[in-house]
A and B are shown apart, each in its own frame.
Chain A
Amino acid sequence: MAGMAEEDSGGNALRIATNARDRVRFEEDALALSDQVYRVARHISDSREEAEDLVQETYARAFRSWRSFTPGTNLRAWLLRILTNLNIDRGRRKQRRPDTQPLEEGDYFLYNRLEEATGDGSNDEERVVERLSQDGIVGALSAVPHDFRDVLVLVDIGDFSYQDAANILDVPIGTVMSRLHRGRRILKRELAESTLGDGDD
């Protein structure tokens, strides 16, 4: 009896040590991704404060439920799934109106508008792209409605694949593709408006 108890406590000690080692590694791996997590959070939420809250909540939850992460799978996607779920739970998107403005113009639209406004049509694309400002881009991105912006940020800024974005947002891959397509168009429309003014001159 005594021998068994000793063996048990030895096994326990080993288990506890292994557990602690796995947890420490998980926490370190997760923290190493925090810049990337923040970058996505910053642009799916509407302010820096919101983004900071969201990232803190995400890490608090991740550290609590680290055991549900399967080692060897995509930790960055796992963290962002927590983050986007928290963001949805906060109910922010309910306040947003859906984007109902028509978008019949094609993908060359922004270039055409900028080139037209830049001069004689002989411009090269470097001069045209120079018309855009960093603030203009940040502002235009924040004007994209949430459903589209989430996908845009995950794929075009976070470098997630369509499939990862679909898993993170829990929507079909076809939805990711159509929202991405539309999100990029909306971004261009917003860029055209902020760079050239609202007038259709």
Chain B
Amino acid sequence: MTETPCEHCERMMQPFMDRILSVEEQAQAEAHLSECDWCAKRYRFEGQLRQYVRVAVSEPMPPELKEKLAALRTPLV
């Protein structure tokens, strides 16, 4: 079974976003994205999703924990 250009583009998405494609592969994906809005949307969504995940999980460290960590330091004599 041959892969359609969009299927190929889908398979390239993670490595594309991780910037580990070769120069040729990168150029090939960019060329497809510039003319295929369907894939381009999905790539933009992936970028936003990664960003959103990063923000959603950024829970600040409890201040008491910070104090506990500082208390673990070797006392200066």
Cβ-defined contact, A43 with B61, below 8 A: no
- From 12 to 54 in chain A, residues with beta carbon under 8 angstroms from any chain B beta carbon are 20, 23-24, 27, 31, 34-35, 38-39, 42-43, 48, 52
The one of B41, B57, B66 that contacts A111, using a Cβ cutoff of 8 Å: B41
Number of B residues near A (Cβ < 8 Å) is 33
Q: Is A63 an interface residue (CB 8 A)?
A: yes
CA distance A187 to B42 in the complex (A): 16
- From 70 to 91 in chain A, residues with beta carbon under 8 angstroms from any chain B beta carbon are none
CB nearest to B38 among chain A residues: A108
A interface, size bucket: 35 or more
CA distance A42 to B59 in the complex (A): 8
**A181-B48 CB under 8 A given contacts A55-B69, A156-B53:** no
Q: Chain A contact residues: over half helix, strand or loop, or mixed?
A: helix
CB nearest to B59 among chain A residues: A42
Question: Residues of A with Cβ closer than 8 Å to B?
Answer: 20, 23-24, 27, 31, 34-35, 38-39, 42-43, 48, 52, 55-56, 59-60, 63, 106-108, 110-111, 124-126, 128-129, 132, 134, 137-138, 141, 156-157, 180-181, 184, 187
The one of B49, B60, B62, B73 that contacts A63, using a Cβ cutoff of 8 Å: B73
Shortest beta-carbon distance from A104 to chain B in Å: 13
Ordered by A's residue number, 8 sampled pairs between the chains whose C-beta atoms are within 8 Å are A20-B76, A39-B59, A63-B74, A111-B41, A111-B46, A129-B49, A138-B57, A141-B53
The one of A31, A128, A129 that contacts B70, using a Cβ cutoff of 8 Å: A31
